[in-house]
């Protein structure tokens, strides 16, 4: 199947700094990507839908100024956690929509963010 | 609104034994249901999906699931577990066709396979 990568896989930062996470579709073009957050022993929670060339659509309760999403190309979406705080520590997972084959979402391996 | 409940956060079976992972859903509209598997340090991989065609859905790696509307269930089964099946399994629901619509996930079930 198609491959989606995320970088970095792990990041540790100080409180108040910003962190950027990249999500790339390696062998297909994705007009739509999704960003999820996964808490320990909890479900994946959809944060936002990222559309290439337009503004992201955020789910209710997700701060758009806190979690900046940019989808500047058909293979790259970025999530920037601004002014990170310890409560932002989590596992962030992206997925990319491949409309070519069965309109399937392919998931990245996730990024573990720890804010000190 | 839609939701998914996975009964049992951890399931352990012997190699060669039947695998049964439970998933119950709640949906105000006809649901589309999915099972994903996550191996350590990897992304989620689609195992199978139900999109209102056959109620018994066959997926990859010998897994299958049956949609039972009367029980609001979509349990995942495999006749004979293999060591390589050890992973985290997620059930998910969507109100639309395909998998590219918004997914609501369950909390996951970790499958352990012992010798």
| Distance of alpha carbon A96 from alpha carbon B89, whole angstroms | 19
Q: What is the per-residue pLDDT across B21-65, written as a single tens digit (0 to 9) for each? A: 999 999 877 788 999 998 876 778 889 988 877 899 999 999 999
Residue B97, pLDDT score: 56
| Distance of alpha carbon A38 from alpha carbon A103, whole angstroms | 23
Judging contacts by C-beta atoms under 8 Å, the chain B residues touching residue A99 are 100
Cis omega (within 30 of 0) for bond into A8? yes
Which helix (H) or strand (E) element contains residue A13? Answer: strand A10-13
Residue B100, pLDDT > 70, answer no
Could you tell me if A19 lies within 8 Å of chain B, comparing CB atoms? no
Confidence label for A1 from pLDDT (cuts 50, 70 and 90): low
| Distance of alpha carbon B7 from alpha carbon A112, whole angstroms | 26
Of B46, B102, B106, the CB nearest to A46: B102
Q: Do B90 and A44 touch (CB under 8 A)?
A: yes
Q: What is the per-residue pLDDT across B55-96, written as a single tens digit (0 to 9) for each? A: 999 999 999 999 999 999 999 999 999 999 999 999 998 876
Between B107 and B42, name the one with better pLDDT. Answer: B107
Range A15-35 average pLDDT:
93
Tell me A53's DSSP state: T
| Pairing of β B109-114 and β B87-94 | antiparallel
Q: What is the per-residue pLDDT across A63-114, written as a single tens digit (0 to 9) for each? A: 999 999 999 899 999 999 999 999 999 999 999 987 765 567 889 999 999 9
Could you tell me if B28 lies within 8 Å of chain A, comparing CB atoms? no
Q: Do A107 and B44 touch (CB under 8 A)?
A: yes
Structure tokens at A86: 């310890």
Range A13-41 average pLDDT:
91
Q: Do A109 and B43 touch (CB under 8 A)?
A: yes
Report the side by side order of strands in the sheet with B73-78. Answer: B2-7, B19-27, B73-78, B64-68, B56-58
The answer to whether the CB of B36 falls within 8 A of the CB of B47 is yes
Q: Do B44 and A93 touch (CB under 8 A)?
A: yes
């Amino acid at each position: 199947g198609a491959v989606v990568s995320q970088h970095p896989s792990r990041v540790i930062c100080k409180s108040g700094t910003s962190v950027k996470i990249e999500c790339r579709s390696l062998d297909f073009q994705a007009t739509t990507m999704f960003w999820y957050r996964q808490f320990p022993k909890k479900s994946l929670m959809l944060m936002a839908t990222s559309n290439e060339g337009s503004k992201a659509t955020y789910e209710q309760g997700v701060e758009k100024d806190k979690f900046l999403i940019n989808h500047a190309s058909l293979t790259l979406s970025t999530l920037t956690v601004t002014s990170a705080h310890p409560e932002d520590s989590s596992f962030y997972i992206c997925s990319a929509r491949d409309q070519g084959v069965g309109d399937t979402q392919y998931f990245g391996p996730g990024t573990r963010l720890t804010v000190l | 609104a839609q939701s998914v409940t996975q009964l049992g956060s951890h399931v352990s079976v012997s190699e060669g034994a039947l695998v049964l992972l439970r998933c119950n859903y709640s949906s105000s509209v006809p649901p589309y249901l999915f099972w994903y598997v996550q191996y350590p340090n990897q992304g989620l991989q689609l195992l199978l999906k139900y999109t209102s065609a056959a109620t018994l859905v066959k997926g990859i790696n010998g897994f299958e699931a049956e949609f039972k509307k009367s029980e609001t269930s979509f349990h995942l089964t495999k006749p004979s577990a293999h060591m390589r099946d050890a992973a985290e399994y997620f059930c998910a629901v969507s109100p639309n066709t395909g998998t590219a619509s918004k997914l609501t996930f369950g909390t996951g079930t970790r499958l352990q396979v012992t010798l």
